[in-house]
A = this chain, B = another copy of it.
Amino acid sequence: MSRRTGQLHLNAFLKPPGEYLAAWRHPDTEAGAGVDIREVLSFARTAERAAFDAVFLADLVGVPFASEDVLSRVSVVNDSFEPTTLLAALAAGTSRIGLIATASTSYNEPYHVARTFASLDHISGGRAGWNVVTSLNDAEAQNFGLAAHLDHATRYDRAEEFHDVVTGLWDSFEDDAFRHDQSSGVYFDPAKLHALNHEGRHLKVAGPLNIARPPQGHPVVVQAGASEAGKNLASRVADVIFSGIRDLGRAQEFYAEIKERAAAHGRDPDHLKVLPALSVVTAPTESEARDKLARLTELLPPQVALADLSYWLGGFDLSASPLDGPLPELPVSNQSHTAQQQIYEDARRDNLTIRDLVRRVANDDRTITGTPQQIADHIEEWFHGRAADGFNVIFPYLPGTLDDFAELVIPELRRRGLFRTHYTGRTLRDHLGLPRPSRRS
């Protein structure tokens, strides 16, 4: 494995009171942290002190669980801030860390999305990022006048067009359009304003956007697609690709493929950062770390765990299937192909029962547990092994696992020369080592 020069990138995935569905039950969390701005701001400040590249906010525009019994036992999906207003508040309470929020291309208008993220970029002095997602829950669709979510091909087709409209709107004004010449009365040079006049398959948007070009030119674009359409979109337009792959070999293949695809689109492959998810529980000794995780996972009620597996299988109801039997053949779902396929492949390869899968999906199998040295070894192996340019670090419960990562793992990464000791740039593009895009002409 050839060692890489350069440093890795780390985003802090903030889902208060934690990613784990039972995180809110942990005695060291504040159960209502999802709508407590002081709590969320303190998490962002911890991440900033540790010099993370960005905080990252996932999102759903609806409540995805069907059963009230399950729903009433989880926190995140029910009770969280809207991400762009949250980021604006975090922008005011931080000064250097990047701020990435999710906005769906399925049930939004590109004019609003372009404007909101341009605003965030101006408010934060160039620290905004947009995580471009397509929405895949019927519960979300039903909040926007539809009976079911869009099929996979349509939502990626719309996402491609939506992205191009948003970035086109960001380019409404040239960078030096604004003259602010009080004496002559010329506010901007009209030759440097460009309406978009977009008319496509899904969208018709005239423009121009009513705000100056963002400080970063374009806020950082993040994408997580792993299907053929998703990989194509990400390699064409994304600055950061977020993946859920947990196997090193597969992550290396994915990494190589994405970089090749970026090059095929005429891009510098180094300008598309591959950041897999990394869920971490750490402690000074391995047994302490395992105890920490065990104290968390014992809090998850079995019906919630089963519902979570159903959710990742496209909403298929598993309650009639024996827990110790194999996964039944499910109808092909319209939902996230990749997650579903990965579960099926795992189940077949390892001959897993539904009970095994429940544990794997909802519990601990996707969390790396160990000493700071072990975590750093894992990170280093993936980084130097060209499986990752860094990670979206996922915190099972907050602030505990974030504090541990910041206090234990980050110093170890620094000792190994893998991570910055302080910010050297001002914008999220600076942190990520990405160029400022020029206007499309």
Contact = CB atoms under 8 A, between A and B. Distances in A.
Contact of A180 (B31, B37, B182): B31
A88 to B, nearest CB: 4
A37 to B, nearest CB: 5
Contacts of A142: 204-206
Contacts of A25: 182-183, 185
Contact of A35 (B35, B80, B207, B212): B212
A204 to B, nearest CB: 4
A122 interface: yes
A208 B205 CA distance: 30
A62 B195 CA distance: 11
A227 to B, nearest CB: 26
Interface string A294-320: 000001010000000000000000000
Nearest to A140: B111
A79 interface: yes
A109 interface: yes
Interface stretch (A63-71, A151-159, A231-239): A63-71
A306 to B, nearest CB: 15
Interface in A26-84: 26-27, 31-32, 35, 37, 41, 60-63, 68-69, 71-75, 77-82, 84
Contact of A27 (B71, B115, B182, B299): B182
Contacts of A344: none
B211 A82 contact: yes
Copies in the complex: 2
A85 B119 contact: yes
Nearest to A109: B144
Interface string A166-204: 000000010000101011011111100100000000011
A112 to B, nearest CB: 7
A189 B31 contact: no
A193 B85 contact: no
Interface residues on A, range: 35 or more
B73 A116 contact: no
Interface string A70-113: 01111101111110111111111100000000000001110110
A80 to B, nearest CB: 6
A170 to B, nearest CB: 13
A434 interface: no
Contacts of A146: 204
Contact of A145 (B61, B112, B203): B203
A122 B37 contact: yes
A137 to B, nearest CB: 11
Given A31-B180, A112-B61, A187-B31, A123 B81 contact: yes
A81 B119 contact: yes
Contact of A72 (B111, B182, B187): B187
B115 A299 contact: no
Given A92-B89, A203-B145, A210 B301 contact: no
A120 interface: yes
Interface in A126-162: 139, 142-146
Given A32-B178, A32-B180, A37-B123, 6 more contacts: A25-B185, A61-B115, A63-B210, A86-B88, A112-B112, A145-B203
Interface of A: 22, 24-27, 31-32, 35, 37, 41, 60-63, 68-69, 71-75, 77-82, 84-93, 107-109, 111-112, 115-116, 118-120, 122-123, 139, 142-146, 173, 178, 180, 182-183, 185-190, 193, 203-208, 210-212, 299, 301
User: Which 6 residue pairs of A and B lie closest in terms of their CB atoms, listed nearest first?
Assistant: A92-B92, A88-B88, A31-B180, A142-B206, A68-B190, A82-B119
